[in-house]
Amino acid sequence: MLDKVTELIGDVQAFKAVSKEEIEAFRIKYLGNKGLLKELFTEFKTVDASMKKDLGQALNRLRNAATDKVKELNDAIEDTASSKAIYGDLTRPSEPIQLGSRHPISLVRNRIIEVFSKIGFTVSEGPEIEDDWHNFTALNLPEYHPARDMQDTFFIEQDPDILLRTHTSSVQVRYMEENEPPIRTISPGRVFRNEDISARAHCIFHQVEGLYIDTDVSFADLKQTLLYFTKEMFGKSKIRLRPSYFPFTEPSAEVDIYWGLETEVDYKITKGTGWLEIMGCGMVDPNVLKNANIDPEKYTGYAFGMGIERIAMLLYQIPDIRMFYENDVRFLEQFKSVL
C-alpha cells in the first residue's frame, strides 16, 4: 500500500490542467467524499500497527500534494483570465501597425544629398540663429546695401546683430572660414524670411546651397554640374542659364529646365512656355573669398542654391506650399510608398 501511495504522489505532482473542469475532476478524484484519499484512509484502519506511522505520513503527503496542486492550478487559471481582461485575447492575431512615412521635404532633401554625394560633395550644417557678418556682410552685403531689402529678415529685438538666417549661404561662409580649398560642399537647412504666407510663399522654408572652390574652376564646370543634377533629379537633359544678379556671385544666373508641354499641368506650371526656373547660381565673388580668408588670385569657385519646397512641388505636383506645414495625415499618407 505504501508503494501505491508513493506512486499517487508522483502522479499528483506531474498533473497539469488547462481548464477549471479538469481541475475540478482532479479534486474530486483525490479529495472528494468518494475520492482516493477517502478510500485509502479507510484501508489505513486495517493496516498492521508497525506500518501505520510510515503509511500515515505518506497519506498526509498525498493529501497536501493534492490540495496544493488544486490551489496552484486554480491560481494559474485566474492569472490567465486577468491578463485576458487587461490585454484581451493574447492568442488572437495582432493589430496591424500603422506605418508612418517620411515627409516630402525630407524625401527631396535626402535625394538631393544623394545626387551630389555621388560627385564628391559633402554635407555641412550651421546655426539657424545667425549673426549679421555670416548672413550678410561676409557675403558682399554690407550695411545699408540695397540688396538686403530683397530678404525681409527676422531680427532678434534684444540684439539687432542677431537674426534668423535668411539663406544657408551663411553655412558656406562658416565652412570656408574653417576649411582650406579645395572645398566641395552642400548646405541643406531651414531658413526664415518675413514674407506673407500664400500658396507660393511661406515665412519658413528649406534650401540647399552648393559651393565648390578650387584652382581653375570655371563657369563651364558649374554648367556641367547643374546639367548632371537636372538629369539625375528630374530626368531632364535640357537647361538654360539666364543672366541675373546675386550679391555674392559674379557673374550670376537663373537656371531653367525644359519641363515640356505634354500635359495640362505642364502648361499650367510653365505658363505655356515649357521652361521652369529651379535655382540661382554663379561664380563666387572675389570679395566673398577675401572675407573668408581665401586668396581670390589663386582660387575660384561657383555656388548655387535652390528651394527644397519648390523642387518637391515640381516632383510631386503639389499645388500649395502650405500643405507641407499643416501636418494633414491625408496628405502625408500619400508618401508612404515613396522611398
pLDDT along the chain (339 residues), means of 10: 73 79 81 76 71 73 82 79 59 71 92 96 95 92 71 77 92 95 96 87 93 96 96 91 94 94 83 91 96 96 95 88 89 76
Please say whether the beta carbons of 66 and 31 come within 8 A: yes
Query: What pLDDT does residue 252 have?
Result: 96
According to DSSP, the β-strands at 249-258 and 239-246 are antiparallel
As a whole number of angstroms, the distance between CA 247 and CA 148 comes to: 9
Query: What pLDDT does residue 280 have?
Result: 96
pTM of this prediction exceeds 0.85: no
Question: Which contiguous run of DSSP H or E holds residue 302?
Answer: strand 300-307
Query: What pLDDT does residue 226 have?
Result: 96
Q: Where are the domains of the chain?
A: 2-87, 104-335
- The residue among 198, 265, 277 whose CA lies nearest residue 240 is 277
CATH code for the part of the protein at 104-335 = 3.30.930.10
As a whole number of angstroms, the distance between CA 62 and CA 60 comes to: 5
As a whole number of angstroms, the distance between CA 53 and CA 197 comes to: 97
Task: Confirm whether residue 125 is marked as ligand binding.
Answer: no
Query: What pLDDT does residue 338 have?
Result: 60
The DSSP symbol for 237 reads: -
Query: What pLDDT does residue 81 have?
Result: 63
Angle between helix 308-316 and 104-117 (nearest 10) = 100
| Three-state SS at 12 | helix
Residues with Cβ < 8 Å from 173, sequence gap 6 or more?
134, 138, 139, 288, 291, 292
| Three-state SS at 203 | coil
Query: What pLDDT does residue 28 have?
Result: 82
Query: What pLDDT does residue 151 have?
Result: 65
According to DSSP, the β-strands at 159-164 and 155-156 are antiparallel
As a whole number of angstroms, the distance between CA 104 and CA 268 comes to: 22
Query: What pLDDT does residue 119 have?
Result: 96
- The residue among 308, 313, 311 whose CA lies nearest residue 331 is 313
